[in-house]
């Protein structure tokens, strides 16, 4: 990414060149599935409500498989998964971090 970056919170930063970049983390021990974190982070990056996302997540990735892969992932999986969803590049890592970058 290029351009000026500005921190606007612990999980969100903006970049003049590419728009809002959102990083979120699924809380271990809570019942928040990674798939929900993805949808909420994309909505935040797009500046919309999660219910206003027109593309269903299942058109980009199987949400149940995504949740299964990353539940307890640090013990079972040491990698990352990247895919495109709703005009954003999504990367989910083994520690359940979700990075959302709008595609310019």
**pLDDT tens-place string over residues 14-43:** 554 446 778 877 665 566 889 999 999 999
Query: What's the pTM?
Result: 0.75
**Tokens describing residue 80:** 């990352």
Is residue 2 in some structural domain?
no
Is residue 56 in some structural domain?
yes
Is residue 30 in some structural domain?
yes
Is residue 15 in some structural domain?
no
Write b or e for each residue in 56-95: b if 16 or more Cβ atoms lie within 10 A of its Cβ, otherwise e.
Answer: ebeebbebeebbebbeebeeeeeeebeeebbebebebbbe
Tell me which residue range forms the domain holding 56: 23-102
The pLDDT confidence band at residue 8, using thresholds 50, 70 and 90, is very low
Give the distance from CA 95 to its chain's centroid: 13
Is residue 8 in some structural domain?
no
Residues 46-71 have a mean pLDDT of 92
Number of domains in the chain: 1
Radius of gyration of the chain from Cα atoms? 13
């Amino acid at each position: 990414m290029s351009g000026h970056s500005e921190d606007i919170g612990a999980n969100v930063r903006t970049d003049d060149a590419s728009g809002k970049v959102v990083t979120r983390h699924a809380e271990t021990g809570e019942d928040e599935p990674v798939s929900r974190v993805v949808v909420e982070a994309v909505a935040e990056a797009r500046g919309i409500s999660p219910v206003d996302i027109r593309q269903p997540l299942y058109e980009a990735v199987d949400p149940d498989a995504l949740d299964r892969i990353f539940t307890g992932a640090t013990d079972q999986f040491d990698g990352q998964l990247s895919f495109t969803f709703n005009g954003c590049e999504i990367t989910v890592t083994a520690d359940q971090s979700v990075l959302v970058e709008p595609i310019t």
